[in-house]
Amino acid sequence: MARPVEVAPGVFHLPLGILGQVSNGYIWISDEGPVVIDAGPPGAGTTIIDALTALDYRSQDVVALLVTHGDFDHVGGLAALKQACDAPVVAAEGEVALIEGRVPHQTRLRQPSAVGRVLGLLAGAAIRVIGAPDPVTVDVVLTPVSDTSPGGLRPIPTPGHTAGHTSYLALQAGILFAGDALRNQGGLSTPPRMATEDMAEARRSIKQLAMLSFGVACFGHGSPITQNADEKIRRLAETLPG
Ligand SMILES: [Zn+2]
């Protein structure tokens, strides 16, 4: 892979595509070394390792593999990455069963609404074509009171899209890795209703994020915001009910 785009100092954006869908991963160069945030769909592990190489890092330099949530388009490359990097996999309690393969990905994709069920079937078909993510042991299980993760980022519980969804804040640098707590496709918005477990909770999480201070925000889907990101999220939060 060519050198990935540096969207803010030390933040590299990795658009990891599958079947026309893009799910973003990121490399953040922390004081401790490179941290990978989310690992894209199955097959993305080698792309991320190639990106590290393009940045003149060895995979063994990686200090942490942070997971925002266990959806298949965010943990697909995790097993290959862990094997290459030998770095701890970090995720919240609520996501562990999915990541460790004790709950099938198809279950998470089966949503209560009719549209959600159709989407679930399509996603299930995609998994049959590309394969489900290989299970990975979570080494550092975050709880709601965890205030730091390997790599020095602060985990922010942002449930809603999934029960254990977690965002990560690089406090000093002012960078938020929001995962699917929000998306920035055709404008900043909530995660899609049909793929979200609890919309009211998702809105509360956005309001929580809106209370924090950061200049840059990176999303699982859509372009990063590189200036005044907190202000933009605050403006969205003010429009949300609840
Ligand atoms: Zn996603």
Distance 41 CA to ligand 1 centre (A): 9
Ligand 1: centre distance to CA 220 (Å): 6
Query: What tens digit of pLDDT does each residue of 201-240 get?
Result: 999 999 999 999 999 999 999 999 999 999 999 999 999 9
Domain residue ranges of the chain, discontinuous segments joined by +? 5-239
Whole-model pTM?
A: 0.94
33 CA → ligand 1 middle, Å: 25
pLDDT band with cut points at 50, 70 and 90 for residue 1 = low
Structural Rg of the chain based on CA atoms = 16
Q: Which of 142, 167, 140, 168 is nearest to 153 (CA)?
A: 168
Cα–ligand 1 centroid distance for 21 (angstroms):
10
Structure confidence at residue 111 (pLDDT):
62
| Superfamily of the domain at 5-239 | Ribonuclease Z/Hydroxyacylglutathione hydrolase-like (3.60.15.10)
pLDDT (average), residues 7-20: 89
What are the Cα distances from residue 190, in Å, to 167, 183, 184, 204? 14, 6, 9, 11
Extended strands (E) in 104-174: 140-142, 154-157, 166-170
Average pLDDT, the chain: 92
**What is the per-residue pLDDT across 18-71, written as a single tens digit (0 to 9) for each?**
666 789 999 999 999 999 999 999 999 999 999 999 999 999 999 999 999 999
